[in-house]
Amino acid sequence: EIVLTQSPATLSLSPGERATLSCRASQSIARYLAWYQQKPGQAPRLLIYDASNRATGIPARFSGSGSGTDFTLTITDLEPEDFAVYYCQQRGNWPPLTFGGGTKVEIK
Amino acid sequence: EMQLVESGGGLAQPAGSLRLSCAASGFALTDYQMNWVRQAPGKGLEWVSYISSSSGTLHYADSVKGRFSISRDNAKNSLYLQMNSLRAEDTAVYYCARLMRYCSGGNCYFRDYFDLWGQGTLVTVSS
């Protein structure tokens, strides 16, 4: 089973700042990684797939990069609605499909 | 509007059973591979089960294998999860989630990412 480790667990930032979230895989998954955003009481929403492709309707301030075992989600110029929990998910080798533990982006 | 709506959650006794349903609207369920994903209170996401478009391929997380059974009725545009031998650790919000599909040049391809989620249904296992 591929284990995804996200860091940091919590990121405290102000609106307008840049957020950099990390996801590390226990073995190479090429570029088979997605990022999701989840707000309290809501289902997750797909942001990025195949490491760097934005899903439909996702603003350009969200970008993804990486390959192999190290991946990054960057949110430039944080908007108030961006404060949420972010999860990565791999499809490189499954079953099982696995998620990271999440990074909470909170208002400083 | 494409939508998934889960139902069937509630309180169940340990060792008891529950059947979850997921109704799809705005798209043909038969065109998509489907999954159940759960989230324990205050915890992260855990994939539970997968079913192919034709029901020919099924996958389960080790934590539910032998106890849960996924199925679908494409004619009714519905997905199901039969949960038996429930344990306290099965307490979670259960989401049905669709795998991404895109078509190009007359062919359609899947990406194993979840591009549409229901709102979730809470399952609580407690005596």
What residues in B contact A43, CB-CB < 8 Å?
A: 95, 117-120
What residues in A contact B45, CB-CB < 8 Å?
A: 36, 38, 44, 87, 89, 99, 102
**What pLDDT does A34 receive?**
98
B5, B70 in Cβ contact below 8 A? no
Chains A, B: CB contacts within 8 A come to 59
B36 touching A (Cβ < 8 Å): no
From the CB of residue A104, how many other CB atoms can be counted at a distance below 10 Å?
A: 15
DSSP of B41-72? TTS-EEEEEEE-TTS--EEE-TTTTTTEEEEE
**What pLDDT does A8 receive?**
97
**What pLDDT does A43 receive?**
98
Measured CA angle at B8 (ends B4, A47), to 5 deg: 30
Q: What is d(CA A106, CA A21) in angstroms, rounded to the nearest whole number?
A: 13
State pLDDT tens for residues A24-68. Answer: 999 999 999 999 999 999 999 999 999 999 999 999 999 999 999
**What pLDDT does B93 receive?**
98
CA proximity to B38, closest of B2, B72, B75, B70: B70
Nearest chain B Cα to A48, which residue? Answer: B113
Q: What is d(CA A34, CA A48) in angstroms, rounded to the nearest whole number?
A: 5
**What pLDDT does B72 receive?**
98
CA proximity to B35, closest of B94, B93, B96: B96
State pLDDT tens for residues B40-71. Answer: 999 999 999 999 999 999 999 999 999 999 99
- Burial group, residue B71, by CB count within 10 angstroms (0-12, 13-18, 19+): middle
For residue A31, give both structure tokens.
Answer: 């570029």
What residues in A contact B60, CB-CB < 8 Å?
A: 95
Residue % of chain B over a pLDDT of 70: 100
DSSP of B23-46? EEESS-GGGS-EEEEEE-TTS-EE
Q: What is d(CA B51, CA B24) in angstroms, rounded to the nearest whole number?
A: 15
**What pLDDT does B106 receive?**
87
Average pLDDT over residues A5-15: 97
β-bridge mates for residue A4, sequence order? A25
Report residue B20: phi and psi, to 5°: -95, 145
DSSP B122: E
User: Predicted confidence band at B108 (pLDDT cuts at 50, 70, 90)?
Assistant: confident
State pLDDT tens for residues A70-89. Answer: 999 999 999 999 999 999 99
What residues in B contact A32, CB-CB < 8 Å?
A: 112
Q: What is d(CA A43, CA B38) in angstroms, rounded to the nearest whole number?
A: 10
Average pLDDT over residues B32-38: 97
Nearest chain A Cα to B96, which residue? Answer: A43
Q: What is d(CA A68, CA A4) in angstroms, rounded to the nearest whole number?
A: 12
Q: What share of chain A is helix, strand, coil (3-state, %, to 5)?
A: 5, 50, 50
